[in-house]
Structure 1
Amino acid sequence: MTALTLKAAGLLDIDTGEIIRPGLLHIDGERITGVGGPATGDVLDLGDVILLPGFMDMEVNLLMGGRGETGLASSVTDDPALRMLRAVGNARRTLRAGFTTVRNLGLFVKTGGYLLDVALRKAIDAGWIEGPRIVAAGHAITPTGGHLDPTMFSAFAPDVLSLSVEEGIANGVDEVRKAVRYQIKHGADLIKVCVSGGVMSLTGAPGAQHYSDEELRAIVDEAHRRGLKVAAHTHGADAVRHAVDAGIDCIEHGFLLDDDAIDRMVEHGTWLVPTTRLADAMDVSKAAPALQAKAAEMFPRARTSVLAAYKAGVKIAVGTDAPAIPHGRNADELVALVERGIPALDVLRAATIRGAELIGVTDRGRLAPGQLADVIAVPDDPIADITVTRDVCFVMKGGKVHVQNR
């Protein structure tokens, strides 16, 4: 690669919130080398657009959803090879939407023990296929009948789609330790655990705690001793308190948070990935009446709990839970967070520098010298109008252009 200058109407300094005009960004290889000043090397004039750091989605599952998915039937009809082929399209759509880094948070499908998200990460890193940088969790760790037990969603009869400890179905301290160790052995970058029920749980209250405190502490101990963080699907306020006390690093969803749980998260520095767009976009009209009732209880609270957490000082990063909203529509979460009352600049930070902080990296999230050249462009000022993030017209990852629509 040769030296390159991106020229645009402006670029966002994510730290100050200033739109620097004009936007001149100097790139050499896969890194940003400078901001402003005279153009160097080849010049790529992008016209009247605003440059931003590549977005980060901290809650996706690229191995689920997308073209050809047949809902819950896919649990028993789709083999790992088919899922991987579908994931190629999901990864490409996510990158082309401007999301250059994601956390793939926990397989809960039959794979024969293979960590498909780790394989997808390797293929993308090798340049074989297009996709975002992936922080992979391997298989989600969940108890039998827990929210992330795929046999629970369809109420399968016994012995239909049996899953192993290696595939995340783990009960008791010894099994959860083994499940965590297996994910780490085969390349997981973090651990995902199911702490409570959810909207689509067929049994039990959506906020009910699924793992015992002893099991949660064992999961956290195994992960932290190996330098990995733990993310937890958790809705109920009491379950959040137990997760925080066990040392969980990040709460996913947190729809039923109360003031005490929020205070506990602030005290411990626990992250929240709120996935609040689900409360508007998830179609439960064809779900069982009991599940529709859960949604009617949880979704209104999801629209308010995230703002309460933000005001209290909880650290927030953007996540969508795609495919719960479609792959490639990830920016809808940014719009939803602004609609909840969070300032647009803080939402943009949650999608960039906060995401980088959550995954423990310092090489992305800003348009600054030394950073990876993960750069996107939108047609206007996203602080004034967050909806322009739905119209990404330029995507560069590591100095390579993947989208140039202008």
Structure 2
Amino acid sequence: MTHADPFAIRELLGPDAAPGRRALTGEHGVVLPPFTDHHVHLHLIDEHGLAPHGIASAVDLGGDPVELARRPREGFPRLSYAGAFLTAPGGYPVGRPWAPAAIAREVTDAQTAPGVPGGAGTWVDEQAGCGASVIKVALNAAAGPVLDHEALAAIVSCAHERGLPVVAHVEGDGMLRLALDTGVDALAHTPFTQRVGLRLMARAAASQAWISTLDIHGSDPEAAANAVANLAAFREAGGRILYGTDLGNGDRPAGVQVGELAALVRAGLGGPEVIAALADPWPGADPAHGVATFVPGEAPAALEDVPAWLGGATVVPEEEVVRDEH
């Protein structure tokens, strides 16, 4: 395959891929839609490395809502965020060394009315008022107390009334079922503590998006195997897969993560599916405006070479790329 073969490039990478060049430098490569990392923690990373290394947009899934609200709206990465984790009293991530107090809110009352101290509605209102695009809840039964059905259902109801989806950190026995029973819209991680049964998998694929985060399990082979198997089954069931890395968890440079992409391929995703997971604008409806992803050099000939090749991606202004459609 060469950079001048648009048909082969589209077959490998999907309909939005095109050979092209950078107008200013003349460098040839492949033009793709802007990429999003759907799970990062900005307070733990150097975000300035994201755009130069292929990430146009990021979704912060656990940070100080006040600080996030104060961020400039222009520039890259374009940011969506959840604000603080909503969790049970004493629940994850309260007390974790990486989690300052400002990034968690303990739900002590299932009331949906505004202004109730510790209320579900109060904390959802706070995140929404700070500009959140999604509400994050912690359901980590492996690390302490979790929200009960009533409190979680109240959070989901309040979020949906405000047009906001709910994403959950699900870990431990019964947590996926609890998330499904209360209408949680997305999972912050592919389930990794156990294999998901067929009935739950079918329910999840019909109603949820899953953020991949497969590559965070490098030191736990069982969790890694569970996550890849679960995502493969979720894909087979027709589920919506979002590329996400939990960047800030571990020592990794900002940008496209080759290990995460390789894990997606191991889970059975083809090239177009990998690009779709990267380019999905969730939790919004529209991708980052005015930019494209550019990968220099010839596109690879085989799927197994796509992850390493995408590691060379960068974000460029849309007007700087010239697509070769012939």
1:328 to 254, 257, 261: 254
Structure 2 counterpart of 1:196, one-letter code:
N
Q: Which residue of 2 aligns with 1:240?
A: 176
Q: Which residue of 2 aligns with 1:347?
A: 274
The superposition leaves residues 217-273 of structure 1 with CA deviations (integer Å, 9 ceiling, x where unpaired) of: 111111111111111111346311221221111012122333222111123x21111
The superposition leaves residues 81-136 of structure 1 with CA deviations (integer Å, 9 ceiling, x where unpaired) of: xxxxxxxxx221111111101111112xxx5xx5222323xx2x234xxx311001
1:192 paired with 2:136, answer yes
Q: Which residue of 2 aligns with 1:361?
A: 285
Identity over aligned pairs, percent = 25
Q: Which residue of 2 aligns with 1:249?
A: 185
Q: Is the 1:140–1:194 Cα contact (8 Å) retained in structure 2?
A: yes
1:396 to 303, 316, 322: 316
1:261 paired with 2:200, answer yes
What TM-score do the two structures reach when normalised by structure 1? 0.66
Q: CA 1:382 to 1:195, structure 2 compared with 1: closer, same or farther past 3 Å?
A: farther
Q: Which residue of 1 aligns with 2:235?
A: 310
CA distance in 1 between counterparts of 2:16 and 2:104 reads 46
1:279 paired with 2:199, answer no
Q: Is the 1:10–1:20 Cα contact (8 Å) retained in structure 2?
A: no
CA distance in 1 between counterparts of 2:104 and 2:317 reads 32
CA distance in 1 between counterparts of 2:120 and 2:11 reads 40
CA distance in 2 between counterparts of 1:103 and 1:19 reads 22
Structure 2 counterpart of 1:359, one-letter code:
P
Q: Which residue of 1 aligns with 2:80?
A: 135
CA distance in 2 between counterparts of 1:126 and 1:21 reads 27
How far apart are 1:383 and its partner, in Å? 7.0
Q: Is the 1:96–1:328 Cα contact (8 Å) retained in structure 2?
A: no
How far apart are 1:341 and its partner, in Å? 2.7
Deviation >4 Å, runs of 4+: 8-16, 18-22, 397-401
How far apart are 1:172 and its partner, in Å? 2.8
How far apart are 1:298 and its partner, in Å? 2.8
1:147 paired with 2:147, answer no
Q: What does 1:53-64 correspond to in 2, within 5 Å?
A: 53-64=33-44
Unaligned runs of 5+ in 1: 1-7, 26-42, 67-89, 204-208, 284-294, 365-370, 402-406
Larger Rg: 1
Q: SS state of the match for residue 168, structure 1?
A: strand
CA distance in 2 between counterparts of 1:117 and 1:398 reads 27
1:126 to 74, 78, 83: 74
Q: Is the 1:135–1:189 Cα contact (8 Å) retained in structure 2?
A: yes
Deviates more, 1:303-312 or 1:223-232: 303-312
The superposition leaves residues 147-180 of structure 1 with CA deviations (integer Å, 9 ceiling, x where unpaired) of: 222x1x3599xxxx8x58x941222313222111
Q: Which residue of 2 aligns with 1:79?
A: none
Q: Is the 2:17–2:31 Cα contact (8 Å) retained in structure 1?
A: no
Q: SS state of the match for residue 376, structure 1?
A: strand
Q: Which residue of 2 aligns with 1:40?
A: none
Q: Is the 2:86–2:138 Cα contact (8 Å) retained in structure 1?
A: yes
Q: CA 1:178 to 1:17, structure 2 compared with 1: closer, same or farther past 3 Å?
A: same
Structure 1 counterpart of 2:86, one-letter code:
I
CA distance in 2 between counterparts of 1:168 and 1:312 reads 34
1:91 to 43, 47, 53: 47
CA distance in 1 between counterparts of 2:78 and 2:320 reads 13
CA distance in 1 between counterparts of 2:149 and 2:268 reads 34
Calculate the aligned-residue CA RMSD, in Å: 3.1
CA distance in 2 between counterparts of 1:329 and 1:246 reads 34
CA distance in 1 between counterparts of 2:174 and 2:299 reads 40
Q: CA 1:21 to 1:263, structure 2 compared with 1: closer, same or farther past 3 Å?
A: closer
CA distance in 2 between counterparts of 1:248 and 1:382 reads 38
How far apart are 1:54 and its partner, in Å? 1.8
Unaligned runs of 5+ in 2: 112-118, 322-326
Q: Is the 2:58–2:79 Cα contact (8 Å) retained in structure 1?
A: yes
Q: Is the 2:14–2:272 Cα contact (8 Å) retained in structure 1?
A: yes
Q: Which residue of 1 aligns with 2:164?
A: 228
CA distance in 1 between counterparts of 2:18 and 2:128 reads 45
How far apart are 1:140 and its partner, in Å? 1.1
How far apart are 1:338 and its partner, in Å? 1.0
Q: Is the 1:237–1:261 Cα contact (8 Å) retained in structure 2?
A: no
CA distance in 1 between counterparts of 2:97 and 2:173 reads 26
Q: Which residue of 2 aligns with 1:170?
A: 107
Q: Is the 1:382–1:389 Cα contact (8 Å) retained in structure 2?
A: no
The superposition leaves residues 173-196 of structure 1 with CA deviations (integer Å, 9 ceiling, x where unpaired) of: 132221111111122121111122
